[in-house]
């Protein structure tokens, strides 16, 4: 046997496990799902062919249309917000001078918890008299304190950064160490003013329905806005690490040359950082689109804590038809909806690749 043939055979042996799993759990599953989408099947009787009836039923099903709208809106909001926040945190961490390892660890902690555990925690946070409602009440009651805190915080941060730039070059205005120092200083001043009776406290008694409501905000139910907040909180840390790895791969000579040419921090970010991070941004956006379009577990755990129409997504719609409570399974409808979800995912990723963020850096 020639050396080339031996290497080719070794290559096929290495990819054989993946090929088998891909065939069984992906190709076969898609073919089987496509077949069931043209049948009436309840898991107990033999499937009977019904043609395009399931797809026609989807178009006329109000819950499916609601789930489709919710899914698209949820994907758009969460993907955009988590990408921007992940990039901002990565830039913030990469410019840290002191305690960089500690800051990375603190930012990454939310992503190590399971999605189910985080959902249960957020269920408690989003109760009508829960922690989030309490935060809103506190913000309204202590709004004078908060305004004073941010004003003093901005002044202290600016003063610390200007002083540090006298000794070190390239100190960022968002340096995390100075942010912490400025925050503690501003907090101390606010506490002193409060103890002296210089800041009034406004009384209020709020009860806010974050989950068990059918109210809409913009183009999405308030319930899904709450789930979006939870989703962003748990996914941003992982995406931040991807951006952080991309930032560390950018040659520092590019920034030095731009600084010599007189480019400020924003210009260096816009013309060097953003173009160089395009491959990472493409991966982050693609992962975000796929993950948000197929989001299921968080709305499933909500259960009766929220109305079905306010938390329905396409993935959950598939589950509801496949395993409805107290009714026969509608595998045909579930299969048709899952194929629509798959086609939608592929189409959105293709459009994002064609007209959105490019794969190659500049």
Dist CA 247 CA 345 (whole Å): 29
User: Residue 33 corresponds to which tokens in the numbers above?
Assistant: 């799902």
**Phi, psi for residue 212 in degrees, rounded to 5:** -80, 70
Dist CA 177 CA 103 (whole Å): 9
Dist CA 270 CA 277 (whole Å): 11
Q: At what angle do helices 62-94 and 53-60 cross, to 10 degrees?
A: 70
Q: How far is CA 257 from CA 94, 253, 263, 345, in A?
A: 19, 6, 9, 41
Residue 19 pLDDT: 86
Dist CA 83 CA 76 (whole Å): 11
For the purposes of burial, counting CB atoms within 10 Å of the CB of 192, is it exposed (0-12), middle (13-18) or buried (19 or more)? Answer: exposed
Residue 100 pLDDT: 60
| CA-CA-CA-CA torsion sign (178, 183, 186, 189) | negative
For the purposes of burial, counting CB atoms within 10 Å of the CB of 219, is it exposed (0-12), middle (13-18) or buried (19 or more)? Answer: exposed
Cβ proximity of 358 and 278 under 8 Å: yes
Classified as helix, coil or strand, 196 is coil
Residue 171 pLDDT: 72
CA–chain centroid gap for 151, Å, is: 30
Cβ proximity of 132 and 125 under 8 Å: yes
Q: What DSSP character marks residue 110?
A: G
Residue 101 pLDDT: 66
For tokens 């390239």, the residue is: 170
Return per-residue pLDDT of the chain as tens, 362 residues: 566 677 788 888 888 888 888 888 888 888 999 999 999 988 888 889 998 999 999 999 999 999 999 999 999 999 999 999 999 888 887 776 555 666 666 667 777 777 777 777 787 788 777 778 888 887 888 888 889 999 999 999 888 888 888 877 767 777 778 888 889 999 999 899 888 888 888 877 777 777 778 888 888 888 888 888 888 888 888 888 889 888 888 888 888 888 888 888 788 888 888 888 888 888 899 888 998 998 888 888 877 777 888 888 999 999 988 888 777 888 999 999 999 999 999 888 888 877 766 666 55
CA–chain centroid gap for 215, Å, is: 22
Q: Which helix (H) or strand (E) holds 201?
A: none
pTM reported for the whole predicted model: 0.76
Dist CA 323 CA 321 (whole Å): 6
């Amino acid at each position: 046997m020639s050396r080339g043939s031996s290497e080719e055979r070794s290559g096929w042996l290495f990819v054989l496990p993946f090929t088998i799993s891909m065939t069984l759990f992906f190709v076969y599953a898609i073919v089987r799902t496509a077949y069931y989408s043209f049948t009436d099947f309840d898991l107990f009787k033999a499937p009977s062919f019904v043609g395009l009836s399931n797809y026609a039923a989807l178009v006329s099903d109000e819950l499916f249309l609601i789930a489709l709208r919710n899914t698209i809106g949820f994907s758009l909001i969460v993907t955009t917000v988590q990408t921007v926040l992940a990039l901002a945190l990565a830039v913030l961490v990469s410019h840290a001078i002191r305690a960089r390892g500690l800051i990375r660890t603190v930012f990454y902690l939310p992503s190590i918890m399971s999605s189910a555990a985080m959902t249960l925690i957020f269920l408690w946070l989003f109760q009508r008299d829960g922690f989030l409602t309490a935060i809103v009440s506190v913000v309204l009651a202590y709004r004078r304190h908060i305004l004073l805190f941010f004003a003093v915080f901005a002044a202290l941060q600016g003063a610390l950064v200007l002083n540090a730039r006298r000794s070190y070059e390239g100190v960022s205005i968002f340096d995390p160490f100075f942010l912490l120092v400025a925050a503690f200083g501003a907090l101390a001043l606010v506490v002193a003013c409060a103890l002296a009776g210089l800041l009034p406290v406004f009384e209020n008694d709020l009860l806010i329905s974050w989950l068990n409501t059918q109210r809409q905000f913009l183009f999405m139910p308030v319930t899904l806005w709450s789930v979006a907040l939870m989703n962003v909180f748990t996914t941003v840390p992982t995406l931040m690490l991807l951006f952080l790895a991309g930032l560390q791969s950018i040659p520092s000579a590019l920034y030095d040359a731009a600084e010599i040419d007189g480019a400020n921090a924003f210009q260096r970010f816009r013309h060097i950082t953003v173009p160089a991070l395009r491959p990472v941004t493409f991966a982050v956006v693609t992962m975000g689109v796929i993950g948000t379009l197929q989001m299921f577990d968080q709305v499933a755990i909500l259960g009766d804590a929220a109305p079905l129409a306010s938390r329905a997504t396409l993935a959950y719609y598939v589950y509801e038809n496949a395993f409805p409570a107290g009714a026969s399974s509608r595998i045909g409808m579930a299969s048709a909806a899952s194929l629509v979800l798959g086609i939608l995912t592929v189409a959105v990723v293709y459009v994002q690749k064609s007209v959105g963020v490019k794969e190659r850096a500049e």
